[in-house]
Amino acid sequence: VGLIGGSIGLAARRSEDVTVAGWDPDRQALELALERGALDSAAGSVAEALDGAEVCFVCAPVGDVAATARAALECGGDCVVSDVGSVKAAVLDALGDCDPERFVGGHPLAGAEASGVEHARAELFEGATWYLTPTERTSGMLYDRLYRTVAGLGARPTAIAAATHDRLMATVSHLPHVMANVLVGQAARELVEESQALPATGPSFRDATRVAGANPPLWRDIFVSNRDAIVQELDAYAGALDEVRRRLRAGDGAALERWIEDARADRQRLLEGELGGGRVSELRVPVPNRPGIVAQIALALGEAGINIVDMALYPAPDMRSGAIALWVAGEGSAERAAALVADLGYAATPVGGGEG
C-alpha cells in the first residue's frame, strides 16, 4: 500500500459499493494507509486481505511481484489477480502454470514522481494509460472484471502483449536509463584522466544524464527482470550507433544532416502524440538567473491560460544569467507566449534546440 496501492484504494473507495482491504509487510505503511482512508481494513496477511475479494492488485517492487502474486493466487477463490510492475513477461514466466486463468499483468503509467502512501491520491490514474497483458489462457470473465475495475479508477485500460509491452518500456524508459548511467561513467573517467573539471557547456549533458544513478535497488530489479528486451534494444541501438560511426568516419555531412533532420521530425511526432495537445513548440528565453524570474514568466503565461508542458532551466557558468527553455502546446500558443515574454522585457526565440 505505497503510492500506487494507496491511490488504487483511494480511487476505488469513491464508489460506495466498494470495500478495500490491504496488506503490507510494513506495518507502519499499512496503518498510514488506513488513516489516509485508502483502506476499509488492514489485514494481517495476504489470505486475510483476499477473503471474499473479487480483484487483487499486487503493488510490490518489480523483484517481488511474482512471489507475491503466487501467494495471492494460492489463496484460491475466483479473484482476478493483477500487478502494477513495469516489467511484464518475467512475471508470467515466473508464475508458469500457477492459475493462468486468474492472473492478468498490469502496468499503470502514473506515479513516477514520488513514492509512499503519503503521496497517494484518488486522481493519480485519471486519464492514464493502464496496460493490461492478458494471455490466451486468461479467463474472459475475469479480464472483463479487471478491465472495468481499472476503468473505474479513472485510467484507460489498454491491452497489449507482455513481450510488446516490455520492448516498449525497454525503448522509452530502460534504454534511456542505461544510456545515462553509461555516459556519466564515461565522462567521469575521461575528466579524471584529463584532470579537467566538467565544462559548463550547454544543457545536453545535464539532460542526457538526469536519470543517471536512479534508485539502484529498484532499477537493478527492472534491468534484471526485463533483461531480454533491454539486450534486444541495446543490440539495435549499438547497430544504429555503428551506422553513425560509419558516416562520421566517411565525413558524410549530407547523410549526417538528413539523419539530424529525421531525428527532429521523429521527436516532434512522438512528443505530439504523447502530449496530445497539438503541436509542441520550444522557446528559449535568455534571462538573468536571479530568483523570481521563472516565477515571473510562468505567472504571465499562466494568467494567459498557456500551460507549459515541459520546461528546463540552464544556468550560465556565472550563475548570474542563463536561459529558460519552455515547451508549450497548442495552436498559436508559442506566438502568444513569445509576446508575453517580450512584454516582460525578455526576448524569446523559437528554437531548433541544442547548443553549438
**What is the footprint of a copy of itself within residues 28-67 (CB under 8 A)?**
62
Residues 313-352 that bind a copy of itself (CB under 8 A): 313-323, 325, 347, 349, 352
Residues 5, 66: Cα–Cα separation, whole Å: 16
Choose the stretch contacting a copy of itself; rule: CB under 8 A; options: 48-56, 67-75, 136-144, 227-235. Answer: 227-235
Q: Angle between the 216-225 and 227-250 helix axes, to the nearest 10 degrees?
A: 90
Residue from the set 75, 94, 175, 344 that interacts with a copy of itself by CB under 8 A: 175
Classify the C-alpha dihedral 235-228-116-12 as positive or negative. positive
- Binding-site size for a copy of itself (CB under 8 A) equals 155
Which of residues 159, 263, 339, 342 is near a copy of itself by CB under 8 A? 263
Q: How far apart are CA 139 and CA 136, in angstroms?
A: 8
- Binder of a copy of itself out of 25, 44, 76, 253 (CB under 8 A): 253
Binding residues among 133-162 for a copy of itself as defined by CB under 8 A: 160
For the chain, the C-alpha Rg in angstroms (whole number) is: 24
**Which of the ranges 14-22, 95-103, 112-120, 139-147 carries the binding residues for a copy of itself, by CB under 8 A?**
112-120
Of the candidate residues 26, 41, 245, 278, the single one contacting a copy of itself (CB under 8 A): 245
Residue from 17, 97, 136, 194 in contact with a copy of itself (CB under 8 A): 194
Smallest gap from Cβ 63 to a copy of itself, in A, equals: 8
Q: Which residue of 52, 96, 140, 199 would you call a contact of a copy of itself, by CB under 8 A?
A: 199
182 binds a copy of itself (CB under 8 A): yes
One residue of 15, 261, 332, 342 binding a copy of itself per CB under 8 A? 261
Cβ atoms of 284 and 324 within 8 Å: the answer is yes
